[in-house]
Chain A
Amino acid sequence: MSAPTALKMGPLTNCVIPSKKYVLVMALGMWFSLIPAMAMEYFYFGAAFNWNPLHVVFFQKVLDFLAVFGSWGQFGVWLIFPFNLLAVHFMNGFFAIWVARLFLAIETRVHKPREGIFPRDMKNPDYFHWNARRAIKKFPCWLLGLTPFTRMKRRYVFNKLGHGTIHIGKNVGLLDAWIDTEFIDIGDDVAIGRAAVVTSHYFTPSHLVLKKVSIGAGCLVGERARISPGANLGDHATALAKSVIRIEEQVPAGAIFGGNPAQRVPWDT
């Protein structure tokens, strides 16, 4: 949110090949993840508006109980309406993640994600499946980026969507940063600033490069900093605001790096 209304921060899930197949994948994800929430809504509004079309035994008992209050019976159902909204949102998000995980399980069975340098060509399986994985992750990431409650579930989302290639530690603040959903290793107690970009992929005109980024425990990554692929921040290292950590830079533990390109600041002993 702190982002402009035009930009939504969150897990970084751009895919490069625009294709109708990806729309199909996203639509399938939405379809399956909306079913449980929709089913719940059906019963809830059944009780709220006294339809009860399925004559479900449980809801009939609820309605019988509420009928004691006469026409105020509906009032009782509406008292839990906010929780109904929250439940819909959380159920939708939860099932979106797990549907994406199901798709990813099939996807990774077809082709296992790996680091390396791959030609930018649809015929290359690594490049193609990298795009496919991102298309699968897009819907849950978008959905969970929509609420102000994102910081409650960010770590969960990353760890679940990474499918074994990602690790996010405890007590990590990565609200409002753009972080890749693959080949990331972030330790405990890390603070990542607003609009920082941490990616494990980069493009050359002819190639896609995937390299693991690791950020050690207790690191501080500044406002709008850029951690490039292959970079390795030691424990309790600091990347200052607006610094650009280069590709495959090895930042020693406890060091303070700043500038563009980032170097050890002169006063850091």
Chain B
Amino acid sequence: MDNSSPSPSMRGPINEQHVTLSPPLVSTHPKWIIFIFYCATMAVVVLAWTYYYIVLALWWMIFLLPLEIVGLGVVFTLTSLFLVKIAVLVLEKKCPPSEGLFPRNGKEMHYFEARSFFKYYAIWLTRSSMFPWIDKIAYKMLGVPVGKTVVLHEAWVDPELVDIGDYCMVGMNSTVMSHCLYQDAFLTKKTVIKENTVIGAYAVIAPGNSIGSSSVIGANSSTNLDSKTEDGYMYGGNPVRQLKKIE
């Protein structure tokens, strides 16, 4: 990996809460995402025609129509997910996701945006389906280790460099970030959420955090960059501070 580009100029300490968290900015590969859409739709078309000819032969198969409709959705989502995975693998081969401080609009940021562009599509698809909680499949497939019985689908979790333990709940419209834009810098850092943690609604977890197991991050609170929280405590505020121990 090429880290030879000059390190970005900074004002102020980076360990305080002054990050600007931002979604990826640009649509990098519109043609490829349309290709993925094409392939997924063709899979659906083939399945639908197959079903049509089966119904022509066996009339009672029409009673499986509801199953067929759900099946079309599942096939569309899984095909898209599979192709997005291939695209992400190709991009990761060119420039693997790594932690560090990079110049804004540099190579790392460009490839981050490209990967996010594909991942965003896959996660959007799973979440707008009738079972939005299957987005965990997308997250697991695209490189975020998600434990069992985790609730994510009402929040935004960055689709790389995040590690989520078992039985976690991430509240409504809260965000778990592993990247941010700051002045002229683009920063990525691994965020770890250990098991049994509850993150409240509208909370912001900044990059580089380590959230302890069996702890609570209160609603509408936010964490600093690189902060750590202890196991078994309740946290709240902006930025978070320890409130009390959970029995």
Interface residues of A (CB under 8 A from B): 1-7, 78-79, 81-83, 85-86, 148-149, 151-152, 171-173, 175-176, 191-195, 220-224, 238-242, 256, 258, 260, 265, 267-269
* Contact across chains for A148 and B19 when beta carbons are under 8 A apart: no
* Contact across chains for A256 and B18 when beta carbons are under 8 A apart: yes
Distance in Å from the Cβ of B16 to the closest Cβ of chain A? 8
Question: A224-B204, A267-B13 known; A241 and B37 CB under 8 Å?
Answer: no
Distance in Å from the Cβ of A143 to the closest Cβ of chain B? 14
Query: Which residues of A have CB within 8 Å of B175?
Result: 2, 194-195, 223-224
Interface residues of B (CB under 8 A from A): 11-13, 16-27, 30, 33-34, 37-38, 41-42, 45, 49, 120-121, 123-125, 127-128, 132, 153-156, 172-173, 175, 177, 181-183, 202, 204, 206, 222, 238
Query: Which residues of B have CB within 8 Å of A171?
Result: 25-26
* Contact across chains for B12 and A256 when beta carbons are under 8 A apart: yes
Question: A2-B156, A5-B153 known; A241 and B128 CB under 8 Å?
Answer: no
* Contact across chains for A242 and B238 when beta carbons are under 8 A apart: yes
* Contact across chains for A240 and B123 when beta carbons are under 8 A apart: no
For the complex with contacts A4-B153, A256-B18, 6 further pairs of A-B residues with Cβ separation under 8 Å are A4-B173, A83-B38, A86-B37, A171-B26, A221-B20, A222-B21
CA distance A196 to B41 in the complex (A): 34
* Contact across chains for A173 and B173 when beta carbons are under 8 A apart: no
* Contact across chains for A241 and B204 when beta carbons are under 8 A apart: yes
* Contact across chains for B13 and A241 when beta carbons are under 8 A apart: no
Q: Which of B19, B30, B155, B172 has the most CB of A within 10 A?
A: B19
Query: Which residues of A have CB within 8 Å of B23?
Result: 2, 173, 175-176, 193-194
CA distance A86 to B177 in the complex (A): 32
A2, A81, A191: the one contacting B181 at CB < 8 Å is: A191
5 closest cross-chain pairs (CB), A and B: A173-B25, A223-B21, A2-B156, A82-B41, A4-B154
Distance in Å from the Cβ of A156 to the closest Cβ of chain B? 12
Question: A148-B120, A171-B25, A220-B181 known; A256 and B45 CB under 8 Å?
Answer: no
